[in-house]
């Protein structure tokens, strides 16, 4: 036949692109497949059809470069699907592009065996690229015809076939197709890149922003306020809840002036989403405020406090500098233990101090604890060849035990710092399965129901008895991250102007009133109970 050779070439290329460029297909190969056959077929059609259009590129070297870029994007999707059984959404994408080198090394090391398929796929891709370059060019007319067919095939894959019968007009059908397309590989990667670029572009646009806040009371004695943000700690495994049978936070539980809140929800299920809403006035509904206004750091600066950010966790990432814009000092550390040492030193230097930091805490792979805190075992640190929920939870609980030790030492330090208060809140929780610890996909209660507690010194209580009484009164009221910014201001006796004020969201105020709680999931504010 006239195009027998060319047809064979295209068949081989199409098979390769379907295997490599479809994460769902790869998921099926490694026996972790739990999607419908229809979804798999659609993903194969879309990825195979689109990637075959590389044949239209006249220069084969350019074609290989384009294919390589495509491969890098889809490789990230492939890892997400096979390791965490999910498609990538905006929350995961932002977490990916804003991660630290330390977190990347931890992830790669902990999932090395789970990602065994990457090497052979990359080798296969390189081999096919070499073959593609060495193969004589396919006639132009045949390429156009073939790619036209491939595009039609891809279009079929894009269509929400299973929903077609339920759509009664063309416009709703078009909207459904568009929505479905944006959430399927490879369009989801491109769509998420666009969103991320837009967000990054809007960062650091608040150089001249001021709250014009004032203090309602001034104190002659030393004042130290600390905002500690935990990592991946869920309420269910925190023994301060009085329910969990393991004493994961025994030391904090013995602190005299500690107030634990039982019904607190985070506003986002990933660090890159939740932390900005903790340290700014942003909410799930008004998320843009984290880019148009400065953080809690600015409030304390306006009222004569020395502000310090300890660069750990999210605060150690270049993309997060807008969250502490204008801070007086930053301190670089390499471990959670160094965070505490830094606080001990810094808090002794200044009369009025505000300190903000994030711990590595219980970040997956749950290895952030010294040997002396290996209380529950076997675990996935001591027995990595065995994967089970119980082993992961043992390691996870050990990390919380270590966090408890660090926070207890911090509270003991602050007892000697005059009027002092500590706010501890986890950025998000965790969904723990037999092989992974993840968040941001299901956004279930384990992921948004997290611990929050406030601790204050005796000196603070003596001067603020009404506030501490209100805190204890509100321990079981429903609340979420919307309240953190206003509670910190309230407890520090800082008043915001009317346009920024929300006294009914201050849990240290008798005027606190619960309001509907919403979590930002894939760019949408969803109300949760």
Residues 379 and 491 in one domain: yes
Domain residue limits at 485: 221-528
- Do the Cβ atoms of 440 and 91 come closer than 8 Å? yes
Residues 382 and 439 in one domain: yes
Please check whether residue 214 lies inside any domain of the structure. no
> What SS3 state is found at 513?
coil
DSSP letters, 300-328, are HHHTT-EEEEEE-GGGGSGGGGGGGTT-S
Residues 141 and 251 in one domain: no
At residue 29, the pLDDT reads 46
pLDDT in tens, 59-92: 777 777 766 766 666 666 666 655 555 555 555 5
Please check whether residue 205 lies inside any domain of the structure. no
Enter the tokens of residue 313.
Answer: 């966790």
Residues 225 and 173 in one domain: no
Last residue of a domain, one of 168, 200, 232: 200
Please check whether residue 94 lies inside any domain of the structure. yes
The answer to whether the Cα torsion of 141, 144, 147, 149 is positive or negative is: negative
- Do the Cβ atoms of 496 and 489 come closer than 8 Å? yes
What residues contact 150, with CB distance under 8 A and at least 6 apart? 14, 48, 49, 50, 52, 53
Between 36 and 280, the more confident residue is 280
Section 140-152 average pLDDT: 68
Pairing of the two strands 452-456 and 258-261: antiparallel
pLDDT in tens, 171-196: 444 444 455 555 555 566 666 666 66
Q: Cα separation of 16 and 24, whole Å?
A: 14
Q: Cα separation of 195 and 197, whole Å?
A: 6
Please check whether residue 216 lies inside any domain of the structure. no
The CATH number of the domain holding residue 395 is 3.40.720.10
Residues 168 and 266 in one domain: no
Q: Cα separation of 377 and 399, whole Å?
A: 12
Please check whether residue 255 lies inside any domain of the structure. yes
Q: Cα separation of 212 and 281, whole Å?
A: 15
Between 409 and 187, the more confident residue is 409
34 phi, psi to nearest 5 deg: -140, 20
End-to-end CA distance of the chain: 66
Between 378 and 160, the more confident residue is 378
Residues 310 and 178 in one domain: no
Please report, rounded to a whole number, the percentage of residues in the chain having pLDDT higher than 70.
61
Q: Quick one: DSSP state of residue 324?
A: G
**Paired residues of 230 in beta bridges:** 426
Residues 260 and 146 in one domain: no
pTM over cut 0.85 = no
Residues 172 and 29 in one domain: yes
pLDDT in tens, 324-380: 989 999 999 989 999 999 999 999 999 999 999 999 999 887 889 999 999 998 876
Domain count, the chain: 2
Pairing of the two strands 494-495 and 264-265: unpaired
Tell which residue, 279, 272, 274, 275, has the closest CA to residue 295. 279
Between 102 and 369, the more confident residue is 369
At residue 524, the pLDDT reads 86
Distance of CA 421 to the CA centre of its chain: 27
Residues 176 and 121 in one domain: yes
Residues 434 and 497 in one domain: yes
Residues 332 and 450 in one domain: yes
H/E element holding 517? strand 517-521
- Do the Cβ atoms of 245 and 449 come closer than 8 Å? no
Q: How confident is the model at residue 166 (pLDDT cuts 50, 70, 90)?
A: very low
At residue 174, the pLDDT reads 46
pLDDT in tens, 456-485: 999 999 999 999 999 999 999 999 999 999
Answer whether residue 18 shows pLDDT above 70: no
At residue 225, the pLDDT reads 98
Please check whether residue 211 lies inside any domain of the structure. no
Please check whether residue 103 lies inside any domain of the structure. yes
Please check whether residue 11 lies inside any domain of the structure. yes
Residues 389 and 452 in one domain: yes
């Amino acid at each position: 036949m006239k195009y027998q050779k060319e047809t064979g070439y295209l068949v081989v290329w199409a098979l390769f692109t379907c295997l490599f460029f479809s994460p769902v297909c790869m998921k099926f190969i490694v026996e972790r497949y739990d999607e419908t056959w229809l979804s798999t077929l659609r993903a194969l059609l879309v990825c195979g059809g689109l990637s075959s259009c590389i044949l239209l590129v006249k220069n084969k070297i350019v074609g290989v470069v384009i294919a390589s870029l495509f491969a890098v994007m889809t490789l990230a999707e492939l890892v997400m699907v096979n390791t965490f059984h999910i498609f990538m959404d905006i929350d995961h994408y932002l977490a990916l592009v804003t991660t630290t080198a330390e977190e990347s090394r931890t992830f790669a090391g902990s999932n090395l065996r789970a990602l065994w398929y990457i090497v052979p796929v990359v080798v296969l891709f390189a081999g096919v690229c070499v073959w593609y370059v060495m193969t004589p060019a396919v006639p132009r007319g045949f390429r156009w015809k073939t790619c036209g067919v491939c595009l039609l095939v891809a279009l079929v894959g894009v269509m929400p076939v299973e929903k077609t019968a339920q759509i009664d007009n063309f416009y709703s059908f078009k909207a459904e197709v568009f929505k479905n397309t944006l959430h399927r590989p490879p369009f989801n990667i491109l769509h998420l890149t666009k969103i991320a670029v837009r967000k990054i572009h809007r960062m650091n646009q608040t150089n001249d922003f001021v709250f014009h806040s004032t203090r309602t009371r001034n104190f002659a004695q030393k004042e130290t306020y600390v905002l500690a943000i935990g990592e991946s700690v869920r309420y269910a495994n925190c023994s301060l809840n009085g329910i969990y049978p393991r004493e994961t936070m025994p030391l904090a539980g013995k602190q005299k002036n500690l107030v634990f809140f039982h019904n607190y929800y985070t506003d986002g299920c990933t660090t890159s989403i939740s932390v900005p809403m903790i340290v700014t006035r942003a909410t799930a509904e008004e998320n843009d405020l984290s880019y148009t206004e400065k953080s809690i750091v600015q409030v304390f600066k306006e009222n004569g406090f020395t502000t310090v950010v300890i660069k750990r966790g999210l605060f150690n990432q270049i993309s997060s500098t807008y969250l502490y814009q204008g801070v007086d000092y930053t301190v670089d550390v390499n471990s959670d233990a160094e965070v505490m040492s830094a606080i001990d030193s810094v808090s002794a230097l200044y009369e009025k101090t505000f300190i903000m930091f994030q711990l590595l805490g219980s970040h997956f792979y749950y290895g952030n604890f010294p040997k002396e805190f290996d209380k529950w075992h076997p675990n996935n640190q001591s027995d990595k060849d065995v994967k089970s929920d119980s082993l992961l939870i043992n390691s996870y609980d050990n990390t919380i035990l270590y966090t408890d030790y660090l926070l207890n030492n911090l509270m003991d330090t602050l007892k000697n710092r005059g009027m002092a208060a500590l706010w501890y809140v986890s950025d998000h929780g965790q969904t723990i399965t037999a092989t992974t610890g993840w968040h941001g996909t299901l956004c279930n209660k384990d992921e948004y129901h997290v611990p929050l507690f406030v601790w204050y010194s005796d000196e603070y209580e003596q001067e603020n008895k009404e506030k501490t009484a209100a805190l204890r009164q509100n321990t079981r009221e429903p609340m979420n991250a919307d309240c953190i910014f206003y509670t910190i201001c309230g407890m520090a006796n800082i008043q915001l102007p009317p346009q920024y004020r929300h006294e009914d969201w201050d849990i240290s105020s008798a005027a606190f009133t619960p309001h509907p709680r919403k979590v930002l999931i894939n760019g949408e504010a969803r109300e949760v109970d």
